[in-house]
Chain A
Amino acid sequence: MSFSMENKEVILLKKALERQKKARIQAEKILEEKSKELYDITHHLKTTNSKLENLLNEKTSELDGVFINIIDPYVVMDLKFNVINMNLSAKDFLGYDHNKESLNLAQLVHPEHVQYTATSFQSLLEVGTLKNYRAKIILRDATEKWVQINASLIFDAKRKPVAAQGIIRDITQETEIRELLSEQKKQLDIIVENSPLGIVLTVKGQIVKANKAFSELLGHSQQELKEMHVADISVPENSEDSVLQMEQMNRGELDTFSVVKKYIHKNGSEVLAKTTVSAVKNTKGKVDYQVALVEDIRKEREAEEKIKASENRLSSLILNLQTGVLLEDEHRNISLTNQQFCDLFQISEAPEALKGADCNGAAERNKIHFKHPEAFVARINRVLAERKMVLNDELEMTDGRILERDYIPIFNQGVYKGHLWTYQDVTIRKNYKRNLEAQKEKYGSIIANMNLGLIEVDTDDIIQMANQSFCTMSGFTEKELIGKKAIKVLGVVEQELLLEKNQKRLQGESDSYEVQVANKKGERRHWLISGAPRYDDTGKTVGSIGIHLDITDQKRLELQKEKLLQELEASNQGLQEYAHIVSHDLKSPLRSISALASWLSEDYKDVLDETGVFQLQQMQEKVESMDRLISGILKYSSIQDDSSKRTKVDVNSVINEIREIIFIPEHVQVKVKDTLPVIRADSTKIHQLFQNLIGNAVVHIEKDPGKVVISAEETKTHWQFRIEDNGIGIAKEYHEKIFKIFQSIGNGERSTGIGLSIVKKIVDLYEGTIWLDSTVGKGTTFYFTLKK
């Protein structure tokens, strides 16, 4: 072990020697180094010294002008805006940490303020400090902040600027407030300058500021006014009051008051203005200023007077209105009512006396006047609760009157201010309307049910309405008619006539006319139309109304009748012709016989004996009576009514003529009792009539003196004539027979038996009757009547 030990020691020693060697070398090296170090240290010390000096300088600079407030952000930056140092507060505010990343402050500056910032920095470099730099910066979170920075330069030992330090103050809020204030001031100025009210700021009566309106009101410029005292330009209307109030205000007892003041215009005229004075107090409650608002109230006064006048007019109008008016305020007290209202509800007080009266419960008190009192009250309560306008409520009163009521709530800016009731007596109108409706219904049902077709057309003949009868008449349904042109759909034959009639309607004319139409089946029908114009509410013609009657059957009968009459006339004519021809043909041979008989007795009178002559005479007589008979028949057959021949006929003259032409025996007298009438008739026939009767009478009188008396009397509808004689009389059994043709009862040779038939025929023609009283041997009285 010892060996090893020794060995070990050797090794150790060797090693130590080695180490010592090395150490020496090391030491030498160290020494060398140390001497270098020493130099270096000396140098270093020198530098350090200098550094310390700098540091001291720095520290001095750092402390210099620093209001180190640890709360405010504090930043040191080099002259290229790179942050060298910043405190916690700055880190918080800016959102950056210079230890973690490099930060250049120039980049935070809002673009708007870059220029300003450059200028400010220049000034910092020149002066060494910068105060009140204000700019907007953009933070890390992109928010904009107004900052105020006070900065100073940091110098090195050689007094060379190496950095800048600054304290940042966040003045964002402050700036905003200031901007707001300035904005508000601007707005206020605008308001003040443009205010229609005069605004004056005074200090103890001295005008400090006056706006444009005030200047214009008084004619003084704003500048001039500033040198004036309130007293110079105004006189209070009620000065004592005004003075008192002013004193109160000065003592701080009154903040604001209003007076109406007279101001004096530059030109000397007076201006009446309402002035409201308000005190502006400082924080200590002392009055600094007085602000007066001056309002020119000349126009207002005028307007007020106008309003008053119009109010007066309105209320007198309301008072005299034919509508009952009741105006209640929001508490249901009467604001206004009128005479008509009092009259409607039989209120004896004057309308003025009701003002202020409480209407609560009025409905309950007055319900007795109404037919449905409970409904009346309920309705009022509902209307009041709803506060909605209600028009034309109809109220029936117990006395039969009908009222119409309106409810109008009154709102002022959405606030309920009361309501207006108006009542109108509509009894007459209502009854009228009811009557009208009843009439309309009546006529409506007549129209609907009448057998006359009714249509209404417009001015273009377009059918607007057709009743059931019209549809039945025409065969068309209502649908097929309405909207169609009447002329076309009904196939009117007389189109031009219809157009002419429509024209007449436009001119307001009504009339009736006949047309031919075709019904739906195409059958021709005759219609009688009564047309009248249709008017609208304004009286303008809007078409026509036609009432249609189907007269086809009547028309047919009429046509038939006309035809029959024509036939009858023709047949009469023919008959008369025939009678003439027959009479001629019968008369001609008679004339020949008569002539031959005459010639016989004339040419052969020497040859003929007495009997021959007598026989020829007899022949002549027979021929004569035959001739008379033929004439009589002809006359009888010629009696026809021809009203065109009727003229005024004086029966007296007729009698006189007859006296002259007929044969009247010597012993007979024809007399007229009183005067006979003048009648309207065919003179020839009247002549025939009297001639036959008188002629008959005079030849049948044997008594001497014979008498024929003619008289007449008037009845309502007829003339009654009477021809009385004292002749031989007619036996009762013949009284009817005598009027029949060829029934002669006389044995006289002149009697043909036709005379009384002619009489009867004429009397018949004049719608009269003929009869007689007679006693054989005493006389006969003929009576006959002729229609007037």
Chain B
Amino acid sequence: MNILLIEDDMIETMKLQRTVSKMKQKHPIVEAKNGEEALDILRSDQELPDVILLDLNMPRMSGIEFLKILKADERLKYLPTVILTTSENRADLLECYKVGIAGYVIKPLKYEEYESKLQKVLEYWNINELVKA
């Protein structure tokens, strides 16, 4: 399962890499530092990811802005996108679900909890039938 991680924080990226590396199944992770970079990747000749993990709080283009562009794109709108965020802002949550997301995960404080949560998310999506564009 190919994962596109859109995250500006290096440590967060490390957290995901570490989490995925511990899993039995290997999931290649493509990293994008921000929305623009992610869109470049998605619109390149590269194979499309199966799942997108998206941080909401990013400089320049925010997560929600990226999500809106994604969902407005005829080709990309089918990609399941799971939000990874520290924001408990209810307004953000509602807005994301409205635009269309495949999950909304609040980053816990403790890494152990993060690992457990993320593994579950990835396992869940792994057992799902994916779009495979």
Contact = CB atoms under 8 A, between A and B. Distances in A.
Given A594-B109, A595-B111, A595-B114, A587 B9 contact: no
Interface in B71-115: 85-89, 92, 107-112, 114
Nearest to A627: B109
Contacts of B133: none
A132 to B, nearest CB: 146
Contact of A594 (B18, B57, B92, B111): B111
B110 A594 contact: yes
B86 A596 contact: no
B12 interface: yes
A591 B57 contact: no
B33 interface: no
Contact of B111 (A583, A585, A599, A627): A599
A581 B87 CA distance: 8
A415 to B, nearest CB: 108
Q: Which 3 A-B pairs have the closest CB atoms?
A: A592-B11, A595-B111, A598-B111
A627 B107 CA distance: 12
Contact of A624 (B15, B87, B109): B109
Given A580-B87, A580-B89, A634-B88, A592 B12 contact: yes
Given A580-B89, A584-B87, A587-B86, A596 B109 contact: no
A598 to B, nearest CB: 4
A623 interface: yes
Contacts of A583: 86-88
B83 to A, nearest CB: 13
Given A588-B86, A592-B9, A592-B12, A599 B109 contact: no
Contacts of A580: 87-89, 92
Contact of B57 (A588, A631, A634): A588
A273 B2 CA distance: 140
Given A583-B88, A623-B109, 17 more contacts: A580-B89, A580-B92, A584-B57, A584-B86, A587-B109, A588-B9, A588-B12, A588-B57, A591-B86, A594-B111, A595-B111, A598-B110, A598-B111, A598-B112, A599-B18, A620-B110, A634-B88
Interface residues of A, number: 21
A596 B112 contact: no
Chain A interface SS verdict (over half): helix
Nearest to A598: B111
A590 interface: yes
Nearest to B18: A599
Interface string B101-133: 000000111111010000000000000000000
Interface of B: 9, 11-12, 14-15, 18, 57, 85-89, 92, 107-112, 114
Contacts of B18: 599
A595 B108 CA distance: 10
A275 B89 CA distance: 127
A475 to B, nearest CB: 51
Contacts of B14: 595
Nearest to B114: A595
A783 B127 CA distance: 54
12 contacts: A580-B87, A581-B57, A583-B87, A584-B85, A587-B86, A591-B108, A591-B109, A592-B9, A595-B11, A596-B11, A599-B18, A623-B109
B93 to A, nearest CB: 11
A584 B92 CA distance: 12
Contacts of A623: 109
A149 to B, nearest CB: 148
B71 to A, nearest CB: 23
A585 B88 CA distance: 12
B24 to A, nearest CB: 19
Given A580-B89, A588-B9, A634-B88, A595 B57 contact: no
A587 B86 CA distance: 7
A583 B85 CA distance: 12
Contacts of B87: 580, 583-584
A779 to B, nearest CB: 34
A578 to B, nearest CB: 11
Contacts of B112: 598
B68 to A, nearest CB: 18
A244 B1 CA distance: 157
Contacts of B92: 580
Contacts of B15: 595
A631 B12 CA distance: 20
A698 to B, nearest CB: 24
A634 to B, nearest CB: 7
Contacts of A592: 9, 11-12
Nearest to A595: B111
Nearest to A634: B88
Interface in A558-617: 580-581, 583-585, 587-588, 590-592, 594-596, 598-599
B44 to A, nearest CB: 29
